[in-house]
Amino acid sequence: MKTDQELFKRSPFWIFLSLVTSSFIFISCINSEEKVYENAADIPTGYEMQAELTAPPNVPRGVGRRKAKKLIVNMEILEQEGTMTDGTTYMYWTFGGSVPGSFIRTRVGDEVEFTLSNHPDNKLPHNIDLHAVTGPGGGAESSFVAPGYEKTFSFKTLNPGLYVYHCATAPVGMHIANGMYGLILVEPEGGLPQVDKEYYIMQGDFYTKGKNGERGLQPFDMQKAVDEKADYVVFNGRVGALTGENAITAKVGETVRLYVGNGGPNLVSSFHVIGEIFDKVYVEGGDLINENIQTTLIPAGGAAIVEFRVDVPGSLVLVDHSIFRAFNKGALGILKVEGEENKKIYSGEIREGIYLPEGPGIQEMPTTDEIVESKTHAKSFEEQMEYGKQVYMQTCFACHQSEGQGIPKAFPPLAKSDYLNADVNRAIDIVVNGLSGEITVNGEKYNSVMTRQMISSEEVANVLTYVYNSWGNSKKVVTKEMVDKVKNR
């Protein structure tokens, strides 16, 4: 026999009362969690969690609505040889084994416990200065660490924003120039708005004893760095880090957020995406949001967040719009967008016509007499192909593209080219002396200008050998003697 109390607990009124009470308690808990603190230093931290660190161009997952935590960051310094460009290597000094260093993602109010380890095989002491830190040296004074040791310090994230970190051990410029920089993101409470794709990109300028493209392991050149005469200006530590198989991707209709930093040590970046307009730019990585921006300045030691929606398919080119840096020193990347075309937004070519400008202006081929002889000499066909590819990527890539496909109506293809394969001496002459006027390649007419290429006879031979033995061409081998013969006739 059930008691009156038991029957009451089963009654609809009791169930209703229980639900109301539970809802009140739940809402009270939510309100407690969403308490607003005037000073971020007062935000309490919950249990410990290990920070997710990622190498570029990847970023960790967003913080969402998580509460502030004690965030454990473990970062290792590694001095290691890596590729600057084909045939050229460099001794990078890295945070986490990549240039830029590992991406760190936090939120306002986190207590970050940071352990910096200097690998025992390294040669030099290092430290870290995080621009997100309020404290002496941004943590540098507490993190100076010799090879084989580690240092731990902690800091509170007080200000939301995207911040640079870098080594601050003397000579500071040298440590940064060797690749010791990265980004730390401090998200606001509640996190940043969600987007479809996020990527991590950081520009840096490098100074080598050899000129751009000179082969072998290239040491750092302090005098060039002091004079601010960069041999390479690159995204993510090397030429081609964001091209070819390394290109970042998106689909039509997706929103893209780029976390863009500039490690310097010297040059300001004019960051631009060819074929897109930034819907939003978080200016210098802070709270100020600018809209409908074409190019944004990012100072050395600074950052910006850019967001945009991709509406049409194609390869969007990321550049430093100080444009010789992009096409001649390496500051170039690709965002490959796939999906359906939208003719309302971009039609593609509609018609071709003849343009006859008025006035007396005459186009002339630009010329110069300065040709620097190559210091490397191919001893085999394999080396010719290797050296030739390097020359191609430095001098031919922008017009003729990575697989020799050219640019329709502008620059002819080199892949399966009837014009190229018909006469090797004509091809040599074009590279040596330039070409202007109308030609027909694979049945299509082209009327553009190819300037004289200021490269040595051996480099001409190597690059033509590479082209002839790529993309379905005739597999001819061009020698230095063949090039000299054309030059002297």
Which residues does 68 contact at the CB level (< 8 Å), separation at least 6?
A: 43, 44, 45, 46, 107, 108, 109, 110, 111
Task: Tell me which of 291, 338, 403, 418 is the catalytic residue.
Answer: 291
The residue annotated as part of the active site, out of 295, 429, 454, 484, is: 295
> Is-catalytic flag, 423?
no
DSSP string, 266-282: SPPEEEEEET--EEEEE
| Catalytic choice (175, 187, 320, 482) | 175
Closest CA to 307 of 333, 279, 335, 273: 279
Q: Give yes or no: 400 in active site.
A: no
DSSP-assigned letter for residue 464: H
Instruction: Report the alpha-carbon distance of residue 32 to residue 160 in Å, rounded.
Output: 22
Amino acid making up residue 170: A
Considering the candidates 84, 131, 243, 320, report the single residue annotated as catalytic.
131
One of 79, 88, 111, 166 is an active-site residue; which one?
166
Catalytic hit among 111, 272, 393, 396:
272
Choice among 79, 110, 111, 129 that is catalytic: 129
Would residue 377 show up in a list of annotated catalytic residues for this protein? Answer: no
Which one of the listed residues 84, 167, 202, 450 is annotated catalytic? 167
Mark whether 175 is an active-site residue. yes
Q: Is 454 noted as a catalytic residue in this protein?
A: no
Is position 131 annotated as part of the catalytic site? yes
**295 has catalytic annotation:** yes
Catalytic site residue from 84, 85, 106, 126: 126
Annotated active-site residue 166? The verdict is yes
Region of residue 109 (left: phi > 0; alpha: psi -120 to 50; beta: else): left
**Beta strand residue intervals within 192-286, DSSP E:** 197-206, 216-218, 232-235, 248-251, 255-264, 269-274, 278-282
| E strand segments, 275-405 | 278-282, 289-293, 295-298, 302-309, 314-320, 332-338
Rounded to 5 degrees, φ, ψ at 339 are 145, -175
Check 84, 174, 180, 396 and give the catalytic one: 180
For residues 255 and 277, the answer to whether their CB atoms sit within 8 Å is no
Rounded to whole angstroms, how far apart are CA atoms 127 and 152? 11
Q: Which of 214, 222, 321, 399 is catalytic?
A: 321
Which two tokens mark 420? 């190229």
Q: Is residue 167 flagged as an active site residue?
A: yes
Structural contact between residues 82 and 237, judged by C-beta atoms closer than 8 angstroms? yes
Q: Which residue has the tokens 């410029």?
A: 173
Are the CB atoms for 70 and 157 separated by under 8 Å?
A: no
Residue 54 token pair? 């990622």
Residues with catalytic roles: 126, 129, 131, 166-167, 175, 180, 272, 291, 295, 321
